[in-house]
Structure 1
Amino acid sequence: MKKIYGNKQLLDALAGMRASGRTAHSLMIWGEKGSGKKLIAKYYTQALMCETPENGKPCGRCNACVNVEKDIHPDVVYPERSGKLGNYSVKTARDIIADAYVKPNNSSGCKVYIFADCSHVQEQTQNALLKLIEEPPEYAYFIFTCGSKSEFLPTIISRCVCFSTAPCTEEEAEASLADSGYAPQDIQAAVSCFHGNIGMCESYINDEALRRQVDLTKSLADSIIRKDEYALSVGLFSLGRERDDVREVLSMLDKLIRDAAVLGKDETARTIGCFREGARALSRSLTAYQSARMHSRIEKAWSAVESNVGIPLALTALGAEIMEIVG
């Protein structure tokens, strides 16, 4: 079983529920991408399925724990996604409702459904699941992971026990990456960009596309620092037309702007963005008001993209507004 770094309080709470027999039938785990939501969901599933739990914690050695770890346990279900956006459909909800009343065949007597990475789940899908979540069979458990609780209707949230993931320290991230066998220079580069977010650090080491996105974000920050409108326009244009790329880069740029505002008040403050040196340079040229305006423009650009405004048009407008702000 993979060791989980950080989030001790959350893990202790889950173990406490298992040890006391007061396990939550519906659990929601939310937090930023890469913060360990799916790993913690698997940990809770192992605790439910484990043949020899130890103070509510999974042993990690029994057949049930091993099968959950390998994603081959027959009574652990990852519902099917469909459509262009890869969402959970009403059909999927109905399939789960039918399957939930088929009793499990394992020593724990549990059946677990893990809805991972929930985003823009249709209201109809949530309403279809509501009755099942309200009155589940005694053996059925439902786990939802998401970036924010706002992805769900209040009626779903009110029927779940909700936990948010907490960031790890950079030291914990370095230890985790070292345990996974990554080279020291790769660990240093990854942690300098994504700090205690272990999942994103691993992605940075393994995913060339993410490294390109980080480099582009740094290039955009440099363009803003130099007040180079042409370079900023070229950088934004190079993002292309893929929404995922646009979302990632705008999110990273927004964190840099946040860091600049914080460092403007306290040069020793902890940063969350991928380019501390760039944030420090921006803090010397941007006022808090300018940073707030820039944050607002970035949010506006992403909202436009989500509303199906053409990506090139939305990014062109963003570049012009940023240049207007920096003067």
Structure 2
Amino acid sequence: MSGFKDVVGHKNIIQYIGNAVKTDKVSHAYILNGEKGSGKKLLASLFAMSLQCQDREDDGDACGKCQSCKQAMNNNQPDIIKVTHEKPNTISIDDIREQVNNDIVIKPYSSRYKIYIIADADMMTVQAQNAILKTIEEPPEYAVIMLLTENAETLLPTIRSRCVMLKLRNIKDQLVKKYLMEQMEIPDYKADVCVAFAQGNMGKAIMLATSEHFNEIKEEAVHLLRNINEMDLSELIEAVKRCMSYKLEISDYMDVIAIWYRDVLIYKATRNVDRVVFSDQLKYIKDRANKSSYEGIEIILDALEKAKARLKANVNFELTMELLLLTIKEN
């Protein structure tokens, strides 16, 4: 972590932060809202580092070399406080009182600002939200509070109205792919699959690119799709049993199938191989495109959506997967 210049995407937010720092128009409270893996923690940490930097660059970015920056990069800058919580899915009123309200009255140790970064702020109980609201309404002049949320709508309207909202948008696919290939040296075809799954979420793309478990799920699904027409009923039931071991990641398994059949549909309609995500499976994609009708592919994609909905509604897992695989085999 050296500065905003190394961040992929989020240019509007970075520009806004840079201007706020340069012009000394820093708010007392911000909400950084975006899905998991979108870069909230990174942007909040860089924002905090730039605010505390002792030798800031002209564009508002941190120098990365001063004592404060070095402390921030090592997570021991005394005036950048990252609020923690013991309960996994709840931030309690005690967490807020002890780590924010009781601490914020003490002046900064060595910096101009005292900055509080609250990750998973949408996990705050209503009591915790009311406790922090009082601080946001009457903060000390040196205080900056950053609330990181996946769903800012769960925060009280009175909190939202008193914070500057920074919404993290999806990053363009070509930027995500460029990063995976150039910075992480991920092969072209593998980067394409990760990008297709990540849908503009850099954190998710990086996680998928480095996850052996995801690779297992992908290989299992691809193996099924290549061989399902030759499989008899007992082999299909065996495939469902293997799916059971991926129960927690079954949505990823189904997404592999969905992307595979979208590839089949795109190739069947356009004969354009450049738009195929599973480019390393082109022979099998072409073969399936020649065998399946447009109607059959649509039936499969529709069955996938229905299966996802059934699993969310806790319909029997094995029965749902058996019906899905039979639909795929028949079409």
The separation in 2 between residues aligned to 1:36 and 1:274, in whole angstroms, is 29
User: Which residue of 234, 241, 245 corresponds with 2:241?
Assistant: 234
1-structure distance, mates of 2:117, 2:162: 16
- For 2:20 and 2:33, locate their aligned partners in 1 and report how far apart those are by CA, in whole Å: 18
Shift in Å at residue 261 of structure 1?
A: 5.8
**Equivalent residue, structure 1, for 2:65:** 61
5 Å-filtered alignment, 1:221-300, equals 229-239=236-246, 246=248, 248-251=249-252, 253-254=254-255, 257=258, 260=261, 264=265, 285-287=296-298, 291-292=301-302, 294-300=304-310
TM-score of the aligned structures, taking structure 1 as reference length:
0.73
Q: Name the CA distance, whole Å, in 1 between partners of 2:27 and 2:260.
A: 37
TM superposition shift of 1:40: 1.3
Alignment pair present for 1:116 and 2:123 = no
Residue identity in the other structure for 1:193: V
Q: Percent identity at matched positions?
A: 21
In 2, Cα distance between the equivalents of 1:225 and 1:296? 22
Identify the residue that residue 53 of structure 2 maps to in structure 1: 50
The structure with more radius of gyration? 2
Partner of 1:191: 191
1:20 maps to: 23
Contact 2:115 2:143 in 1 (8 A): yes
The Cα offsets for residues 221-248 of structure 1, whole Å up to 9 and x where unpaired, read as: 66888897425522331125xxxxx1x4
Structure 1 residues 93 and 176, CA, compared in 2 at 3 Å: closer, same or farther?
same
Tell me what 1:77 maps to. 81
Report the CA distance between 1:141 and its aligned residue: 1.8
**How far does residue 190 in structure 1 lie from its aligned partner after superposition?**
4.7
What amino acid sits opposite 2:114 in the alignment?
K
Q: Tell me which of 161, 181, 185 is aligned to 1:158.
A: 161
Deviates more, 1:271-280 or 1:17-26: 271-280
Shift in CA distance, 290/77, structure 1 to aligned 2, threshold 3 Å: same
In structure 1, the residue matched to 2:212 is 208
Change (3 A) 1:128 1:172: same
Verify the 8 A CA contact 1:220 1:232 in the aligned structure 2. yes
| TM-score for both structures, normalised by structure 2 | 0.72
2:102 match: 98
**Counterpart pick for 2:36 among 33, 37, 41:** 33
Is 2:37–2:204's contact at 8 Å kept on the other side of the alignment? Answer: yes
Q: Which runs of 5+ in 1 are unaligned?
A: 241-245, 305-312
CA distance in 2, matches of 1:122, 1:317: 38
Q: In structure 1, what is the Cα distance between the partners aligned to 2:229 and 2:161?
A: 45
Task: Measure the CA separation in 2 of the matches of 1:264 and 1:170.
Answer: 22
Quote the Cα distance in structure 1 between the aligned partners of 2:243 and 2:250: 9
Question: How many Å separate the matches in 1 of 2:229 and 2:127?
Answer: 46
For residue 311 of structure 2, the aligned residue among 282, 301, 308 is 301
Equivalent residue pairs, number: 306
Distance in 2, matches of 1:150 and 1:220, equals 41
CA offset at residue 325 of structure 1?
6.0
| Distance in 2 separating the partners of 1:279 and 1:116 | 43
Q: Which moved more, 1:146-155 or 1:215-224?
A: 215-224
Q: CA deviation at 1:4?
A: 1.0
Alpha-carbon distance in structure 1 between the residues aligned to 2:133 and 2:281: 44
Rate the CA distance shift 1:100–1:174 in 2: closer, same or farther, 3 A.
same
User: Which secondary structure state, in structure 1, belongs to the residue aligned with residue 119 of structure 2?
Assistant: strand
CA contact (8 A) 1:173 1:198 kept: no
Q: Helix, strand or coil for the counterpart of 1:71?
A: coil
**SS in structure 1 opposite 2:83?**
coil
Shift of 1:156: 3.6
For 1:224 and 1:28, the matched residues in 2 are separated by 48
CA contact (8 A) 1:35 1:197 kept: yes
